[in-house]
Copies of this chain bind each other. A is one copy, B any other.
């Protein structure tokens, strides 16, 4: 994005450029939708596109955000109907797949956007996270109280891993990732239930602490402090 236009006409141009790009992506695919093609289709010069978007990746990021938002709209209601956690997890997975499938060839580009963005403070992560929050809070029976508040973060991380498998999945129609997600849903749900047991619960705590130690929030803390968050094992 990089620039927000001062004038109305500027905003319109930027919007038109973005819409053209998205259309072009859908119609022609990633490689064929060069910046030159997009600019031409939007009726502006190549360099003008760069006035509004600092890179092609910038536009891809918007596409990804759009898709996630559509996924959110598409399955938000289903998550509130008192189904099991497993079925809610599955709902998020399948809605994601159906929204993303037409853009599977964007996989690597999507992943790059996802991984290079700040994992805490960005709109995309917020949408993803709110999906998992709904999936957890709308599940009946509710997951164990002790982990209820941490579960969305955990699921959100899990889904990123699955997404990265999907992104490079070369099997026909991404059969393998579809299968993987189908199988992951019950396992994750089972894990949540087993967290009632102290042993499993403490494992979950360890994993959560790991996730924190890998997040950018800790960037200004020193090593000693952070380390103490992870209980020694042996």
Residues of chain A having any CB pair with chain B under 8 Å: 84, 86, 108, 111-112, 115-116, 161, 164-165, 167-168, 171, 175-177, 179-180, 182-184, 186-187, 189-191, 193-194, 197, 199-200, 203, 206-207, 209-210, 213-216, 218-219, 223, 226-227, 230-234
Question: A171-B216, A186-B233, A194-B203 given. 6 additional CB < 8 A pairs?
Answer: A108-B112, A165-B214, A179-B218, A179-B223, A187-B206, A190-B203
Min CB gap A204→B, angstroms: 10
Min CB gap A97→B, angstroms: 14
Instruction: Please indicate the chain B residues that have their CB under 8 angstroms from the CB of A115 in the complex.
Output: 108, 111, 164, 167-168
Contact of A214 among B167, B177, B233 (CB under 8 A): B177
Task: Identify the 4 closest CB pairs spanning chains A and B, nearest first.
Answer: A190-B233, A186-B233, A180-B214, A183-B230
Q: Are B230 and A189 in contact, CB atoms less than 8 angstroms apart? A: no
Instruction: Please indicate the chain B residues that have their CB under 8 angstroms from the CB of A234 in the complex.
Output: 84, 86, 186, 189-190, 193
Q: Are B176 and A233 in contact, CB atoms less than 8 angstroms apart? A: no
Instruction: Please indicate the chain B residues that have their CB under 8 angstroms from the CB of A184 in the complex.
Output: 210
Min CB gap A122→B, angstroms: 14
